[in-house]
């Protein structure tokens, strides 16, 4: 991996900053970087002696994407035939819950490597992984394995440390059952991981959150508040799945006598240090609770569409005050788990949602909704907003003093020809533009669409062989 040398990127055709308001784009064409930080932005900057110059002519620069919710182990579970046409509940039984028994440390590391590389090649520099394959007396440290794989590839990484203290009904059969953790065992493991990996302060590279898999079903009612207080005592943020399907509403009403977000509020699980994945099915009162508390939302539109969950009203949540950011979710429910396809779909999906809700004249507003999600808004959600939500201070925005996490895209494919505003290409045109350079913390970690030291042919063959072996083990 390249050291943090001084770099000058010159002649960019456009720069998105990740900010909102008056400066979603920069008028600069050049950026100077030293010690992992953007030190200067302007036009016609002159190289300093010994400074490496990267020529970004005909390229556009975006902040490195921040993926706020993923399941890296699922990178070996794409397109499983048994689950390809199922909704969330049966899909969980058929794919992640079924296959987790065949995962070991080697497969977890391989899956993580594949997922991180896929994300990097889309321009992603910060990854939050919600890993929940934990059980008592595990023969390896899954948390350490994930941090190590991310560090080896040079990206910022946050472990959303999942797990459960109860066994869900979906997991009760003999093939899917995994012994749950105890509350004390889970907290002891989180404390050990925090001491070893978690970083606070400016521009951290590694962070940790306490993240029981699904708050209303993965831990007991009397444990949820204890977890919130333990996380805050340790100075850790919190994360969980919530309100992905209508089943969450039904279960919370039946068991707790309230709506899901009301249940979280009762148990101290709302606030700016909490992020909730999915949030598809919310009442107006729940949206107000989330917004008033400044709770984060990891919006995963492609996975929610794939599983027929519906679509979270991310624009309404943002207007209410929630911290909205983007996540791609696991590759087992999003077979193209990269941030470029996520931002493209997000930009389109909310416009379709708005148009579908439009009433005909004269009762309605006629043709509306084409600005429901702007390019600037989506870029903000996928960069600066995500970094802020996860606690990566000084990351996510291209500005002097901010971390030099950025992607330089060369729009040299025909799908980008004819663009009147070339800077819009990566979001509005879809596809995957050639990644000329990807920088994280000022280091070049992708160059000319390749990752130094990664043999893609070997990785592909290893993935192919492991998929065959896993399928065979599942049949045994």
For the whole model, what pTM was predicted?
0.96
Class of domain 65-386: alpha beta
- Report the 3 state secondary structure along 283-349: CHHHHHHHHHCCCEEEECHHHHHHCCCCCCCHHHHHHHCCEEEECCCCCCCCCCCCHHHHHHHHHHH
Residue owning tokens 């400044």: 294
What is the rounded CA–CA span in Å between residue 444 and residue 451? 9
What is the rounded CA–CA span in Å between residue 169 and residue 90? 11
What is the rounded CA–CA span in Å between residue 240 and residue 160? 8
Mean pLDDT by 10 residues, the chain (476 residues): 73 97 94 97 96 97 98 98 96 94 96 98 98 95 98 98 88 76 98 98 98 97 98 98 97 98 98 98 98 98 97 97 98 95 97 79 69 94 98 98 98 96 97 97 98 97 98 92
Q: Which two tokens stand for residue 335?
A: 């077979």
Residue owning tokens 């998105």: 16
Cβ pair 69, 160 in contact under 8 A? yes
Sheet of strand 274-278: strand arrangement: 65-70, 124-131, 156-161, 206-210, 238-242, 274-278, 296-299, 323-326
- Spatial neighbors of 153 by CB under 8 A, at least 6 apart, are 113, 116, 117, 120, 445, 451
Read off the pLDDT of residues 383-427 as tens digits, 9 standing for 90 and up. Answer: 999 999 999 999 999 999 999 999 999 999 999 999 999 999 999
**Torsion angle of the four alpha carbons 96, 102, 105, 108, in this order, in degrees rounded to the nearest 10:** -30
Read off the pLDDT of residues 423-455 as tens digits, 9 standing for 90 and up. Answer: 999 999 999 999 999 999 999 999 999 999 999
What is the rounded CA–CA span in Å between residue 22 and residue 357? 30
What is the rounded CA–CA span in Å between residue 299 and residue 86? 21
Domain locations in the chain as residue ranges = 65-386
The Cβ of residue 262 has, within 10 Å, a number of other Cβ atoms equal to 18
């Amino acid at each position: 991996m390249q050291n943090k040398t001084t770099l000058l990127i010159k002649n960019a055709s456009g720069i998105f900053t990740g900010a909102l308001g008056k400066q979603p784009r920069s008028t600069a064409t050049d950026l100077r970087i030293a010690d992992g930080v953007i030190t200067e932005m302007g036009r016609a900057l002159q190289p300093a002696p010994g400074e490496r110059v990267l020529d970004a002519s005909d390229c556009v620069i975006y902040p490195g994407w921040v993926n706020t919710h993923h399941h890296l182990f699922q990178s070996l579970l794409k397109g499983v035939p048994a689950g390809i046409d199922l909704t969330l509940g049966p899909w969980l039984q058929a794919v992640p819950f079924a296959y987790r028994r065949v995962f070991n440390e080697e497969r977890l590391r391989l899956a993580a490597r594949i997922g991180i590389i896929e994300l990097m090649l889309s321009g992603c520099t910060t990854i939050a992984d919600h890993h929940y394959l934990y059980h008592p007396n595990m023969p390896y440290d899954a948390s350490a394995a994930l941090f190590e794989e991310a560090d080896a590839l040079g990206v910022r990484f946050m472990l959303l440390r999942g797990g459960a203290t109860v066994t869900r009904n979906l997991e009760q059969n003999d093939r899917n059952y995994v012994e749950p953790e105890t509350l004390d065992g889970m907290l002891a493991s989180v404390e050990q991981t925090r001491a070893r990996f978690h970083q606070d302060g400016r521009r951290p590279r590694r962070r940790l959150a306490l993240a029981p898999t699904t708050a209303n079903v993965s831990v007991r009612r009397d444990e949820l508040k204890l977890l919130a207080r333990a996380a805050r005592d340790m100075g850790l943020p919190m994360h969980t799945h919530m309100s992905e399907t209508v089943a969450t509403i039904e279960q919370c009403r039946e068991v707790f006598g309230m709506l899901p977000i009301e249940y979280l509020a009762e148990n101290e699980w709302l606030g700016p240090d909490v992020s909730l994945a999915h949030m598809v099915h919310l009442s107006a009162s729940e949206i107000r609770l989330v917004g008033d508390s400044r709770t984060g939302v990891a919006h995963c539109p492609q996975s929610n569409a794939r599983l027929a969950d519906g679509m979270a009203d991310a624009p309404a949540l943002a207007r209410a005050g929630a911290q909205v950011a983007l996540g791609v979710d696991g590759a087992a429910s999003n077979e193209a788990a990269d941030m470029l396809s996520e931002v493209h779909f997000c930009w389109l999906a909310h416009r379709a949602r708005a148009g579908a809700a439009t009433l005909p004249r004269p009762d309605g507003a006629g043709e509306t909704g084409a600005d429901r999600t702007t390019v600037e808004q989506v870029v903000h959600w996928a960069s600066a907003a995500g970094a802020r939500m996860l606690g990566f201070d000084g990351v996510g925005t291209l500005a002097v003093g901010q971390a030099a996490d950025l992607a330089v895209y060369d729009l040299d494919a025909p799908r980008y020809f004819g663009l009147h505003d070339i800077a819009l290409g990566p979001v509005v045109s879809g596809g995957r533009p050639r990644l000329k350079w990807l920088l994280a913390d000022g280091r070049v970690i992708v160059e000319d669409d390749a990752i130094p030291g990664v043999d893609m042919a070997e990785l592909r063959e290893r993935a192919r062989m492991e998929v065959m072996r896993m399928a065979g083990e599942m049949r045994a």
